[in-house]
Each structure stands twice: as C-alpha cells, then as structure tokens.
C-alpha cells in the first residue's frame, strides 16, 4: 500500500502549547499517521514516554512503521512508545490520574481515511457506505441509512450535520433505499439539496458528516475524553500538565470550549487560548484541510 499523504495540522502550535519536555509522559489520543507523535518523540528524549491511541487498525499499523523508522534514526534518543489499539474514550482505563505532562487530540478524519474509497468516508470517490473508524465493530453507515426511520434520519442530519434541509434529504433517502455506496447517497442528497449560493462545499458534505459522527459516536467519545482530562475528580494531567485539542467543526469546538470554561470556573484548568488558534495563511494554502481547524489549550492548575 502506498504511503498516504499526511500533513499534521497546526503542528508547531500544538508542540508549543503542549510544552513537551525531555522525560515527560505525553498521550497522543489520535495517532493517525503519527505526524504529531513523531514530532513529540523528538522532544521527549530517551527517558520520555509517548502513549499512542488509535481505534483504526490500519492507521495503527502504518503509524508503527513510521515510528519504527524514526527509532532507527534517533537510536538511543528515542523515547518509549506504548501503543493502545482502543478508542481514546477509554483512556481512563489505561492511564492513571495525575500522570500526564501532556495530552493531544486531533479530532479530524485523517487524510488516509478520506482518500481510501473502500473506507466509505467520502463522496469524492465511490465506495461502500461504511465510515467506521474501528472496522471491527459497530453499525455501518449503510445500516444507518437503510434502517433508520425517516424522522430519526432527519433529526440525525439536522443535529450532527447542522443541515437545514434535513427533512427533505431524509425523505429522499428513504424513497431511494436501499443504498450501498457513497456515490448513490451523494447523488440522492445532491438532487434534493443543491449547492447553497456562496458556499463552496459539496451539497452532501453535511449529511456525510452527520452519518460519520453517528457511526463513530464522535461527540460521545469527545465528552468521555473531556471528563477524563478536566473533571475535578481525578484529572489524568499532573499539575502543570497541558491539554491541546484540535476540532474541525462547531459541534466539537463547542464541547471543548464549554468543558474548558466549566473546568476553569471550578479551578481545575487554566485556559491558555482565549480564542481558538487557527492555521495561518501559509498553512491554509499548503494544507486546505487545516482551514477549519481550531486549537484550544489549557493547563492543569
């Protein structure tokens, strides 16, 4: 398999806010292709530890190969790397409270997932309606599309896709069932919800986002992580430990912002980003997917 094109989003900003130091213990909750993790490893040194989570088996194997190559390059300067092939929502089952110097999560779908048609994440190439990050379990997008009733489907598309035309789209989906491929779904949505004037996104973007969030319980995953990081009862961070979270749409960013505010009021976290950090013009041109990224950071009090 060819090596995927991967550019870690807001890399320097992430490293600066994490304040990675030699000998530290840092978790990368979303290993992906190890773009952020590789840079973190270079700063941790031989006495440091990186704990890397990813529920996507394919991504985990590719990341292991990349970090093995980095270990050959760094030799004795390579930190210890612990791989956890589980969802980051389960982090509290793996990491003890008060042990982390840093925690990073990039909530975006990886380039590898989007670009490989057989994963079913994108309408840009035809593939099966899957969308599962962990292909070992859970409902597929095909099952949701073909089995949900019209009202539930409309509510799903409205809530998770923030799509105002959700009822029209749900009605069209139900009439066109059964559907098995991304191209079929994109055609059905586009036929009843043409591009909105002034918007540059594909008409099916919000519907696909909604299905992906539902299939992977993405918002529930983030809420579990936030409780583990910023909860007053046993945060995973050491005092002075940093958390850096990168969101890609308003639903995610709102969860992070609200959680940080509540934790700051409770005296658990100090917010380091009054406004979210976004990609500069150079990065946005180099990596268009970074344009919607918003980084928020906080420090354990």
- 251: domain CATH number? 3.40.50.150
Residues 101 and 223 in one domain: yes
Q: Does residue 51 register a pLDDT over 60?
A: yes
**Residue written as token pair 């960013």:** 253
**Residue where a domain stops, chosen among 161, 182, 216:** 216
pLDDT-derived band of residue 114, with 50, 70 and 90 as boundaries?
low
Task: Report yes or no on 4 lying in a domain.
Answer: no
Residues 222 and 210 in one domain: no
Task: Report yes or no on 117 lying in a domain.
Answer: no
Residues 251 and 208 in one domain: no
pLDDT-derived band of residue 109, with 50, 70 and 90 as boundaries?
confident
What would the mean pLDDT of 84-102 be, rounded to a whole number? Answer: 96
The Cα 179–Cα 188 span in angstroms is 10
**Residue where a domain stops, chosen among 216, 235, 265:** 216
157: containing domain? 123-216
Q: Does residue 152 register a pLDDT over 60?
A: yes
> Model confidence over 221-245: pLDDT tens digits?
999 999 999 876 569 999 999 999 9
Count of other CB atoms within 10 angstroms of residue 97: 14
Residues 292 and 270 in one domain: yes
Task: Report yes or no on 93 lying in a domain.
Answer: yes
Residues 199 and 223 in one domain: no
Handedness of CA 153, 172, 194, 205 (dihedral sign): positive
CB within 8 Å of 253: residues ≥ 6 apart: 247, 276, 294, 296
Mean pLDDT of the chain: 92
The DSSP element (H or E) to which 239 belongs, if any, is: strand 237-247
What would the mean pLDDT of 66-86 be, rounded to a whole number? Answer: 98
Residues 106 and 229 in one domain: yes
> Model confidence over 254-268: pLDDT tens digits?
999 999 999 999 999
Q: Is 290 exposed, middle or buried (0-12, 13-18, 19+ CB in 10 A)?
A: buried
Residues 63 and 191 in one domain: no
The reported pLDDT for the residue numbered 115 is 61
pLDDT-derived band of residue 4, with 50, 70 and 90 as boundaries?
very low
Task: Report yes or no on 26 lying in a domain.
Answer: yes
The reported pLDDT for the residue numbered 120 is 60
Task: Report yes or no on 18 lying in a domain.
Answer: yes
Task: Report yes or no on 118 lying in a domain.
Answer: no
Residues 19 and 65 in one domain: yes
CB of 48 closer than 8 Å to CB of 80: yes
Task: Report yes or no on 5 lying in a domain.
Answer: no
Q: Does residue 185 register a pLDDT over 80?
A: yes
Measured CA angle at 179 (ends 107, 222), to 5 deg: 15
Q: Does residue 52 register a pLDDT over 70?
A: yes
Task: Report yes or no on 292 lying in a domain.
Answer: yes
Residues 49 and 94 in one domain: yes
Residues 34 and 88 in one domain: yes
Residues 173 and 205 in one domain: yes
Domain total of the chain: 2
Residues 273 and 286 in one domain: yes
**Residue where a domain stops, chosen among 200, 216, 232:** 216
Write the DSSP string, 9-28. Answer: TTHHHHHHHHT--TT-EEEE
- Beta-bridge mates of residue 49: 25, 80
């Amino acid at each position: 398999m060819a090596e995927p094109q991967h550019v870690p989003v807001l890399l320097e900003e992430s490293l600066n806010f994490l304040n990675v130091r030699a000998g530290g213990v840092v978790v990368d909750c979303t290993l992906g292709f190890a773009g952020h993790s590789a840079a973190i490893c270079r700063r941790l040194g031989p006495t440091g530890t990186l704990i890397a989570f990813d529920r996507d088996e394919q991504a985990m194997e590719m990341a292991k190969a990349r970090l093995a190559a980095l270990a050959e390059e760094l030799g004795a300067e390579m930190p210890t790397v612990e791989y956890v092939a589980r969802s980051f929502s389960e982090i509290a089952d793996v990491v003890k409270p008060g042990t982390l110097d840093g925690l990073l999560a990039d909530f975006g779908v990886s380039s590898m997932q989007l670009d490989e048609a057989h994963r079913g994440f994108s309408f840009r190439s035809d593939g099966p309606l899957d969308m599962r990050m962990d292909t070992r379990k859970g409902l597929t997008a095909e099952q949701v599309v073909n089995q949900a009733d019209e009202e539930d489907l409309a509510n799903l598309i409205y809530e998770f896709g923030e799509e105002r035309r959700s009822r029209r789209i749900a009605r069209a989906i139900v009439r066109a069932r059964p559907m098995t491929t991304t191209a079929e779904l994109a055609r059905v949505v586009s036929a009843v919800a043409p591009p909105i004037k002034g918007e540059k996104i594909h008409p099916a973007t919000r519907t696909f986002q909604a299905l992906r969030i539902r299939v992977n319980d993405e918002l529930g995953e983030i809420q579990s992580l936030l409780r583990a990081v910023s909860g007053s009862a046993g945060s995973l961070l050491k005092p002075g430990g940093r958390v850096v979270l990168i969101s890609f749409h308003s639903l995610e960013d709102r969860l992070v912002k609200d959680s940080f505010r509540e934790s700051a009021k409770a005296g658990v976290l100090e917010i380091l980003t009054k406004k979210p950090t976004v990609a500069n013009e150079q990065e946005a041109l180099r990596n268009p997917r970074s344009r919607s990224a918003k980084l928020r950071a906080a420090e354990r009090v």
